[in-house]
Each structure stands twice: as structure tokens, then as C-alpha cells.
Amino acid sequence: MPKTALITGATSGFGEATAKKFVANGWKVIVTGRRADRLATLVETLGGPTKAHGASFDIRDEAAMNTALDAVPEDFRGVDLLINNAGLALGTAPAPESKLDDWKTMIDTNITALVTMTKRMLPTLMERKGAIINISSTAALYPYMGGNVYGASKAFVKHFSYNLRCDVVGSGVRVTSVEPGLCESEFTLVRTGGNQAAYDALYKGAEAIQPEDIAETLWWVATLPPHININDIELMPVSQTWAGFNIHRKPA
């Protein structure tokens, strides 16, 4: 019997590439996302309803999440892997100039929705000795101007992964935090409100990580022998490294 993965935020970027990778290697997938049209197209691309099931809902809406998961067909219910990929950054401004609504949206999406989905799926994953992969970020480790709530939310994801692993020890469930650096995807368009010029400037000449690279990484983590747990994995493109300390200097 093929294994089944539940991938949140699958209508673009990491989630879409990962769904394609897993289905190409014989898994079935439940893919979630807000954009029902994209989700339907993705399901068809993946081979139709025998290989993929689309569950369209806003990840921040717990009731909608539960309704969608309750409606998953019986042959997709045995989930062996949860990939908590849905997440976002909004804005690049420093804290005094940021919008409180943007902060709350990031917290609701990157933290509250992630723990809600995890709690919902944990009994099944424990029963099947499955795995959880949470998508964090290098922003969880290295602060930068404008990172504020986004970086803090991803730090939560990293440490939630660590603490969750402590709590499920002995169950056979594996838990991993994946922390990518500069990756080229819709993420930056969302963060900048659709600013294509900012997107192009960020990635120009950088040879950034691509969604397919992340999909390969998640496949590797998920298919290791079941007695091995990757606690966390940090990735950057070769072109990226750590920034120097920011120093404010008083005018002469």
C-alpha cells in the first residue's frame, strides 16, 4: 500500500513541488490551500483523485479545517507524514512602521494554524508511527531588520518541533524542523504585496534555492530509515551567508 502525505499550503512553491515529488515516487497526497481553482488543477496534474485529494480551506479557520479533513476519502485517511508548509511573511518594515494586522496574520498562520493542524493529525501519526516536518526558516536563527514577527513565528516553529519531539519519544513519530534561507518562490511577492521589481531585485544573480530543492530535501528526510530522526536541517544557497552586525552611529 502506498503511503500518504498531508501537505499544507500546496498551491504554489514548496508545497506544490513537494506534492509532485512524493506522487512521482508512489505516494498519495492530501494537498491543502485557499485557492480552490489552483488546488483542482494541481490534483489533476498529480494524476487525479486516486493519487491526490484536494482540501480547500483557509488554514487559519479551524472549523473549515476540521470540516475539510472530516471529508477526506477513506483511502486517504491513513496519513503517514504531515508537512506543515503553509506560512507567510507580510511586510519588510521595521516594527514601528509595521501593521499590527500583518503581525496577527503571521501569528495566526505560522503558529496557531500549524499547532492546530498538528494536534488534529497527531493521533493518526502516532498510530502509524509517522512523521511531521515543519517548515521553519533561517529567520528563526538570525535576526534582521524587518524580520520582527515573521522571524519570531519561525523561531516558535523550530522550538515547537523540538518540544514536540520530546513529547512523542517512544511513539515512533519523527519530528523535523526544516530551515531554508533564500528561496525563490511566491513568498516574496506575498511579502511585498506583489512588488515584482522587489522580487526581481532580490533574486537577481543570487542562484537562490528553488522549490524543487526543498522538495528533494523533504523527500530525503521522510524516507530515511525509521530509526533515524533529523532534528533540524538548515539550508542556504551557496551565494548566501550570514550578515554582519548592524551598528547605528551617532552623527558627528
Asked about 150 being catalytic, the answer comes back as: yes
Q: Torsion over CA of 25, 120, 58 and 166, rounded to 10 degrees?
A: -80
| C-beta of residue 21 within 8 angstroms of C-beta of residue 211 | no
| C-beta of residue 134 within 8 angstroms of C-beta of residue 84 | yes
Tell me the three cell numbers of residue 88: 507567510
From 142, 144, 150, 203, the catalytic residue: 150
Query: What distance in Å separates the CA atoms of residue 235 and residue 77, rounded to the nearest whole number?
Result: 32
Query: What distance in Å separates the CA atoms of residue 121 and residue 78, rounded to the nearest whole number?
Result: 10
| Strands of the sheet with 81-84, listed across from one edge | 52-56, 28-33, 4-7, 81-84, 131-135, 174-180, 232-235
Question: In terms of DSSP bridges, do strands 81-84 and 52-56 run parallel, antiparallel, or are they unpaired?
Answer: unpaired
| C-beta of residue 19 within 8 angstroms of C-beta of residue 38 | no
Catalytically active residues are 150
